[in-house]
């Protein structure tokens, strides 16, 4: 019976979420008796259901109920056998430790160790530029086995990796062809096959590969932390002409007074005052006049070097953008309901 279930699950691709057209009456009675804690009546109804045509989901539920009920009645061997059938049909369905007794989880673990299945196959959504990233694929193998992982789709059958594994394991898929070009967009089955003679088992997750353009870099007009400097400057006002005019005026006035005191004669005071005022005015005008601009050689050289650096950086950006325009951004996402 176990080998028949294995063949059913592997070759036909069992889907536990398949819709049930009409519920089986015997299964319904088994469920009701189990809820009423009438385990013997529930077992009898479940056994009758096994002799009838059941959907995949109903078959899983029957074996789960049988495992729970045999476990509650301390029929460990029968409970393990029921759980083994359950695991073959739906490896990812396991008892919730928060809702069942430790004895049930122990029986389930014992059954899991007796069959070869690949469980919990999955990936997370990832995006990267071709050649600069990989898709992490995780899975769990119930027994030590040789494992082969392939990507199948769009007319391709690509070997991802081969390894020996037991328990939680994983591989990385680089979705590119041998020549480095990305695989065509579309859906792929990432198939995990486990081999432990005479048993073998396969499970998969369906993913979608999407292509996108790679963003280009913007050219720059400045470098962070470096600013252009003023290449000309206007010196501050020079008050030296006014100071000299005041000095000359004072000296002339003092000399005139000295000559007048000595009786040697001197120009009239009005003339001296007028000349002094004119000299002071000339000095003041020269001092408040806006100075002419002058070049700053150090700043000119600094700006030349900064422009050279910006030009070189933009040339590098242009080369990178030429490469980026030929690249493809790959996005790989799991397809909901695509695992088995």
Predicted confidence (pLDDT) per residue in 128-186, tens digit = 998 889 999 999 999 999 999 999 999 999 999 999 999 999 999 999 999 989 999 99
Is 221 domain-assigned? Answer: no
Q: Which domain holds residue 297?
A: 232-320
Is 218 domain-assigned? Answer: no
Please classify residue 85 by burial: count the beta carbons closer than 10 Å to its beta carbon, then call 0-12 exposed, 13-18 middle and 19+ buried.
buried
pTM of model > 0.95 = no
**SS (HEC) of 132-147:** CCCEEEEEEEEEEEEE
For residues 97 and 165, membership in a common domain is answered with no
Distance CA 61, CA 40 (A): 17
Distance CA 206, CA 204 (A): 7
In the prediction, which pLDDT does 131 show? 85
For residues 102 and 147, membership in a common domain is answered with no
Is 165 domain-assigned? Answer: yes
Is 226 domain-assigned? Answer: no
For residues 256 and 315, membership in a common domain is answered with yes
Is 182 domain-assigned? Answer: yes
The pLDDT > 90 percentage for the chain reads 62
Total domains, the chain: 3
Is 307 domain-assigned? Answer: yes
Of 112, 139, 163, which residue is a domain's last?
Answer: 112
For residues 174 and 259, membership in a common domain is answered with no
């Amino acid at each position: 019976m176990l080998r028949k279930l294995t063949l059913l699950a592997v070759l036909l691709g069992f889907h536990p979420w398949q819709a049930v057209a009409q519920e089986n009456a015997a299964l319904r009675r088994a469920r009701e008796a189990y809820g009423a804690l009438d385990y013997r009546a529930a077992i009898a109804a479940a056994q009758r259901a096994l002799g009838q045509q059941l959907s995949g989901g109903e078959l899983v539920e029957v074996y789960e109920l049988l495992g729970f009920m045999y476990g509650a009645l301390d029929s460990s061997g029968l409970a393990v056998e029921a759980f083994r059938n359950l695991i073959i049909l739906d490896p990812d369905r396991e008892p919730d430790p928060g809702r069942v007794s430790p004895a049930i989880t122990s029986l389930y673990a014992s059954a899991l160790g007796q069959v070869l299945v690949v469980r919990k196959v999955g990936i997370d959504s990832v995006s990267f530029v071709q050649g600069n990233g990989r898709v992490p694929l995780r899975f769990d193998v119930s027994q030590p086995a040789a494992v082969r992982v392939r990507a199948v789709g769009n007319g391709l059958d690509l070997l991802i990796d081969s390894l020996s594994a037991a328990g939680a394991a994983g591989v990385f898929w680089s979705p590119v062809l041998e020549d480095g070009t990305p695989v065509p967009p579309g859906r792929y089955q990432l198939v995990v096959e486990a081999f432990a003679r005479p048993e073998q088992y396969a499970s998969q997750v369906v993913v979608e590969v999407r292509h996108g353009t790679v963003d280009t870099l913007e050219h720059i007009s400045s470098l962070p932390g470096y600013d252009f400097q003023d290449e000309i400057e206007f010196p501050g006002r020079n008050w030296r002409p006014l100071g000299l005019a005041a000095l000359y005026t004072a000296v002339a006035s003092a000399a005139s007074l000295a000559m007048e005191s000595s009786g040697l004669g001197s120009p009239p005071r009005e003339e001296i005052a007028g000349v002094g005022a004119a000299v002071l005015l000339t000095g003041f005008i020269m001092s408040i006049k806006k100075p002419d601009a002058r070049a700053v050689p150090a700043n000119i050289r600094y700006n030349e070097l900064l422009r050279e650096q910006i030009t070189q950086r933009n040339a590098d950006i242009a080369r990178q953008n030429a490469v980026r325009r030929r690249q493809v951004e790959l996005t790989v996402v799991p397809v909901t309901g695509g695992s088995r």
